[in-house]
């Protein structure tokens, strides 16, 4: 099996979304191969669940941030024009 | 000579007068001594006696008079005296005009022209010629002699283009120096000085004295004009004199003066004090003034007018200055506007790109996020199906030690040891009570373990 068992906690202390998704792909692929010892599978699975939860949180916050930014930016733009006309 | 009849006629004539006026006879007697004609009728007269007597009679017998006739044989002798004959259809009269009088006539009369001569009759004793001593001449009819001379010179100058109005130069508005050609003792110079000092006292007046009447006056005036013009001292020259008869003014109708005016390097104002007749000088001059005073007024500005002009110029200057500044300010404004517009044109494509980006960015980021979410969702679904614990729902259980390690074989257990049993819906904490190693089962499959633990649990 090519899966790196050590990666979960150590290499990236707070990995980003892409890293976590990539790791999830690895974990899923490894689990799907069915060649894992049970405890390894369990550990990977638990790591996968952590990644799922984290990615969910990251995605949710990213989506929120995007919407906030878009709203704010459009609002700022309008305000800028307003100031520009007034001065 | 027709001796008896001539003197007799005169004698008769004058005897008549004598009768009324004894004074004339007395005079004649005293002039000629004892009258031989009366005392000694038979004694012959000498020619001299007779001519002298005849002359006396003639001169005393006629008032000065005008005679009209046709001129013939006009000669001007080198002495300056002029001799000519007046005649009509049937008679002739010898005439003489002495130099002093002849110098004052403008032109010699043309042969055959009709003229009037003013003078007294006399007898030229040496030749016994009866003649008229003329003191004045005038052309008969409309065209006086002066007029003739005037016209002759005018035509000449006109043919040369010297009377062309286009030749007239403007009089400088603010001359620094005014030249005056006139008699130093006449009224003209006093008038000019008075007017200049009243109107423009800062102006310098340069006088070139010249005799303005009499023989040679015109060349003196011309010389003075040339001197002033050549000196470079003057911005304008006044030439003239006070009023007088046409003869007094005649120098200003003569060619030397006309030509000197025409060649002057500075503008010339003529001021011949004679309002009715125009002189040749007036025609050639750049400006004609009626009198020397008027000429001075034309030559220099009035100081009040100068003051007013300066007062008017000041606001115009500042207005002009302000207009200039305004023009520049407008230019700056316009340039700034054009610059801003140019900049806007340069910025516009970028602005459009930004606008388009603003339209595309939200979708892009949303698409990106959606892709990640899809991926994550798919991974979540797949992970879910792969849970190693999913078999537990089928009745299996996993024994794990405190650290989570899977307990697979009997050897992994010790009596009294606590372990956890993981089942489909949770965990069960258990304790090992007995170890029963299996018979044939050396490679324990998870099922065995599970069974054994299962069995334990049942105990």
A20 to chain B, minimum CA–CA distance in Å?
10
Least confident of A61-70, B48-57, B78-87, B319-328: A61-70
Q: Between A17, A32, A59, which is nearest B386 by CB? A: A32
Chain B residues with beta carbon closer than 8 angstroms to that of A39: 404-406
**Spatial distance between the Cα atoms of B261 and B251, rounded to a whole number of angstroms:** 13
Count the helices and strands in chain A (H runs, E runs): 2, 0
Give pLDDT tens digits for B423-450. 878 888 998 888 888 765 555 444 444 4
B383 touches chain A (CB under 8 A): yes
B204-209 and B236-241 strand pairing = unpaired
**Spatial distance between the Cα atoms of B58 and B35, rounded to a whole number of angstroms:** 17
B305 to chain A, minimum CA–CA distance in Å?
55
Secondary structure class of B418 (helix, strand, coil): strand
Place of tokens 């043919």: B159
| Residue B144 confidence (pLDDT) | 63
b or e along B120-142 (b: 16 or more beta carbons within 10 Å of the residue's beta carbon)?
Answer: ebbbeeeeeebbbbbbbbbbeee
In the predicted model, is pLDDT for residue B451 greater than 50? no
Whether the CB-CB separation of B103 and B217 falls below 8 Å is answered with no
Tokens describing residue A6: 């050590």
Question: Which pLDDT band holds residue B192 (cuts at 50, 70, 90)?
Answer: very high
Q: How far does CA B18 lie from the centroid of its chain?
A: 79
Structure pTM?
A: 0.44
**Spatial distance between the Cα atoms of B398 and B377, rounded to a whole number of angstroms:** 28
Secondary structure class of B256 (helix, strand, coil): helix
List residues bridging with B132 in a β-sheet. Answer: B95, B121
What ipTM was assigned to the predicted interfaces of this complex?
Answer: 0.72
Taking CB atoms and an 8 Å limit, are A52 and B376 in contact across chains? yes
Give pLDDT tens digits for B257-310. 999 999 999 999 999 876 667 889 999 999 999 889 999 999 999 988 888 888
Taking CB atoms and an 8 Å limit, are B388 and A38 in contact across chains? yes
Give pLDDT tens digits for B409-421. 888 888 888 898 8
**Spatial distance between the Cα atoms of B82 and B103, rounded to a whole number of angstroms:** 10
Q: CB under 8 Å to B371, separation ≥6 — which residues?
A: none
**Spatial distance between the Cα atoms of B253 and B227, rounded to a whole number of angstroms:** 20
């Amino acid at each position: 099996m090519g899966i790196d068992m050590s990666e979960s906690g150590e290499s990236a202390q707070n990995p980003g979304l892409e890293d976590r998704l990539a790791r999830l792909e690895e974990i899923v692929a490894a689990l799907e191969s069915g060649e894992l010892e049970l405890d390894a599978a369990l550990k990977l699975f638990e790591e996968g669940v952590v990644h799922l939860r984290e990615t969910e949180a990251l995605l949710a916050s990213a989506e929120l941030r995007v919407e906030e930014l878009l709203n704010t930016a459009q609002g700022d733009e309008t305000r800028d024009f307003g100031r520009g006309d007034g001065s | 000579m027709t001796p008896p009849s001539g003197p007799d006629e005169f004698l008769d004539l004058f005897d008549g007068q004598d009768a009324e006026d004894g004074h004339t006879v007395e005079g004649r007697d005293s002039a000629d001594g004892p009258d031989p004609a009366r005392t000694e009728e038979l004694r012959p007269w000498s020619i001299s006696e007779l001519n002298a007597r005849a002359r006396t009679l003639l001169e005393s017998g006629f008032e000065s008079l005008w005679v009209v006739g046709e001129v013939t044989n006009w000669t001007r002798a080198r002495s300056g005296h002029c001799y000519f004959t007046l005649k009509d259809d049937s008679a002739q009269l010898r005439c003489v005009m002495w130099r002093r009088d002849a110098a004052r006539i403008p032109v010699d009369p043309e042969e055959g022209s009709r003229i009037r001569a003013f003078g007294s009759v006399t007898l030229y004793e040496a030749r016994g010629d009866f003649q008229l001593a003329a003191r004045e001449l005038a052309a008969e009819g409309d065209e006086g002699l002066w007029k003739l001379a005037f016209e002759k010179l005018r035509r000449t100058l006109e043919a040369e283009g010297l009377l062309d109005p286009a030749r007239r130069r403007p009089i400088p508005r603010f001359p620094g120096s005014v030249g005056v050609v006139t008699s130093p003792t006449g009224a003209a110079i006093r008038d000019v000085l008075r007017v200049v000092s009243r109107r423009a006292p800062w102006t310098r007046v340069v006088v070139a004295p010249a005799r303005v009447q009499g023989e040679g006056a015109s060349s003196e005036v011309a010389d003075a004009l040339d001197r002033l013009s050549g000196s470079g001292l003057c911005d304008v020259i006044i030439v003239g004199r006070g009023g007088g008869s046409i003869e007094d003014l005649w120098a200003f109708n003569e060619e030397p003066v006309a030509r000197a005016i025409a060649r002057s390097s500075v503008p010339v104002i003529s001021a011949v004090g004679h309002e009715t007749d125009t002189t040749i000088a007036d025609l050639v001059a750049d400006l004609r003034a009626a009198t020397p005073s008027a000429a001075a007024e034309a030559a220099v500005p009035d100081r009040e007018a100068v003051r007013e002009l300066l007062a008017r110029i000041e606001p115009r200057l500042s207005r002009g200055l302000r207009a200039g500044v305004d023009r520049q300010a407008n230019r700056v404004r316009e340039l700034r506007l054009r610059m801003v517009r140019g900049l806007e044109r340069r910025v516009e494509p970028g602005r459009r790109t930004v606008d388009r980006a603003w339209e595309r960015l939200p979708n892009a980021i949303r698409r990106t996020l959606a892709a990640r979410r899809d991926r994550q969702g798919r991974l979540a679904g797949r992970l879910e199906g792969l849970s190693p614990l999913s078999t537990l729902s089928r009745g299996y259980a996993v024994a794990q030690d405190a650290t989570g390690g899977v307990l697979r074989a009997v050897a992994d257990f010790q009596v009294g040891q606590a372990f956890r049993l993981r089942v489909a819906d949770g965990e069960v904490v258990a304790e090992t009570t007995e170890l029963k190693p299996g018979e044939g089962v050396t490679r324990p499959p998870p099922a065995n373990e599970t069974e054994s633990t299962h069995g334990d649990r049942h105990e």
